[in-house]
Copies of this chain bind each other. A is one copy, B any other.
């Protein structure tokens, strides 16, 4: 027996790590598919929670299973391996972030505001998906190889999208495409570092305020510097 549970409850009716469990054990009589999806969700959340400190490479399949409240072998009904699960988490983390950032830039052609809006979006996103961001920050350089590669690709995608939007916002070409890439890379790098810093300032609002203000300044510095850069090469 892996966790105590009420007698007769055969399967994972109450996954330990899932926040989205129906209250008071109401017998909603889920379909098989719903049930499976719920367990899957619970596994993802459990893994996310377990690598909050350390890293996915230091998390074991058995730990995850215990956290969820299922038997170790049941894990394989949902994922081939922990790496597989890691890739899933990467996708989850980036999809919504990229969507939001793109929205910011599409709905707001005002060049001056782009910095403030982007930083705000990033910070609020870090807040509402702490665990996901912490995951990315960790696995980016320490995760399983395939996970690292996927994360790198995703960040590169962010860079390219930013470059495109910058090009559109600045109108016809004060910068070469190359300079644009370089600038976008610097800005994304600063953003990533900011996200990490926000994570570190958990529970210290003054520190977070400093960090976000710093990010704004840095992005503006980069933009202004890049403008001056090209107007006298």
**In the bound complex, CA of A200 to CA of B141 (Å):** 11
A221 at the interface (CB under 8 A from B): yes
Of A32-40, A61-69, A84-92, A223-231, the stretch lying at the interface with chain B is A223-231
Contact between A218 and B182 (Cβ–Cβ < 8 Å)? Answer: yes
Check if A190 is an interface residue, CB within 8 A of chain B: yes
| A interface, CB within 8 angstroms of B | 53-55, 57-58, 137-145, 152, 179, 182-183, 185-186, 189-190, 192-193, 196, 200, 214, 217-218, 220-226, 228-229
Q: A140-B141, A141-B142, A196-B141 are known contacts. Are A185 and B58 too (CB-CB below 8 A)? A: no
Contact between B141 and A186, CB atoms less than 8 A apart: no
* A228–B232 alpha-carbon span in the complex (Å): 14
Residues on B with C-beta less than 8 A from A143 are 142
**Of B145, B185, B222, which contacts A222 at CB under 8 A?**
B222
Residues of B within 8 A of A53 (CB): 145
Give the distance to chain B from A139, nearest Cβ to Cβ, in Å: 8
Chain B residues within 8 Å of A179, by CB: 217
Q: A218 CA to B139 CA in the complex, in Å?
A: 26
6 contacts across the A-B interface (CB closer than 8 A): A141-B196, A142-B143, A152-B200, A224-B228, A225-B225, A228-B228
